[in-house]
Chains A and B, each alone.
With several copies, the nearest count.
Chain A
Amino acid sequence: MTDSHHLATCNDALLIVLRHPPHGSSWLREGIDVALVTAAFGREVELLFQGDGVFALLENQTTGALGQKGTHPQLMMLEMYDIERLWVSRTALTERGLTTDDLMLPVSVLDSDEIAALHAAHASSLIF
């Protein structure tokens, strides 16, 4: 369910791009932290999962070595913070042999030109 109309209009929401996989580093967790805090401050937030960031959405993740919590519990809190626009790069999924059926949350899949349009439509973005 892409939403081309939304892509085309200029947008005050903060776009947070998540490019790192879970567990291996804290990039993903600290990016989601920024998303949650921004939403808590009453500003709209959207997430784009690009590159290895799509692994964040993979089903069946668990706690890691030495009790490392991972980021899947954090992602489950997005809805509570009204963060509901989750965009995913089609290229990123395809290159990793994944489809939306492999993901733990409903997402909107974007083609490459739509990704560029998404970036262009947002006045501010952060990459993690």
Chain B
Amino acid sequence: MTLHLINRTPDNRGLFDDVVEAISEGDYLLLIEDGCYAGLAQTRAPLGSLPRGSVGVLKEDAESRGLLGRLDERLELVDMDGFVTLTERFPKSLSWF
């Protein structure tokens, strides 16, 4: 099982297509840095197909961008400690950029 990290906006359409192609059931996708914008409730990113509880957004990065309160409610808010916990839980991580 894999922890996927995305740090770019949905403007990078090809990137999001490739991530979705690579994700398996039981994987987790964490949106960090500019990846947080993909968590906006109304977005072009093709994350809607991913099951609830499998996508999170890094709280610190979402907050600095003014995104708290604007995020898709299916997303988990993950703080830095939670980020580390995810890397404990998932032996493998993949950074998409």
Contacts and interface: CB of A to CB of B under 8 A. Distances in A.
A70 B21 contact: no
Contacts of B63: 62
A19 interface: yes
Interface string A34-70: 0000000000000000111001001111111100101
B1 to A, nearest CB: 8
Given A52-B11, A68-B64, A96-B42, A123 B37 contact: no
A112 interface: yes
A22 to B, nearest CB: 7
B43 A97 contact: yes
A21 B62 CA distance: 12
Given A23-B64, A62-B64, A127-B97, A51 B24 contact: no
Interface string B19-42: 001111001000001100100111
A60 to B, nearest CB: 4
Given A23-B33, A97-B43, A127-B97, A50 B18 contact: yes
A62 B61 CA distance: 10
Interface in B1-57: 1-2, 7-9, 11, 14-15, 17-18, 21-24, 27, 33-34, 37, 40-44
Interface residues of A, number: 38
A11 B69 CA distance: 40
A119 B94 contact: yes
Interface of A: 17, 19, 21-25, 50-52, 55, 58-65, 68, 70, 89, 91-92, 95-97, 112, 115-117, 119-120, 122-125, 127
Interface of B: 1-2, 7-9, 11, 14-15, 17-18, 21-24, 27, 33-34, 37, 40-44, 60-61, 63-69, 91-92, 94-97
14 contacts: A21-B37, A21-B65, A24-B7, A24-B9, A51-B14, A55-B65, A60-B66, A62-B64, A62-B66, A65-B61, A116-B23, A119-B2, A120-B1, A120-B27
**Which 8 residue pairs across A and B have the least CB separation, nearest first?**
A97-B42, A24-B34, A64-B64, A60-B66, A61-B66, A58-B66, A120-B24, A116-B24
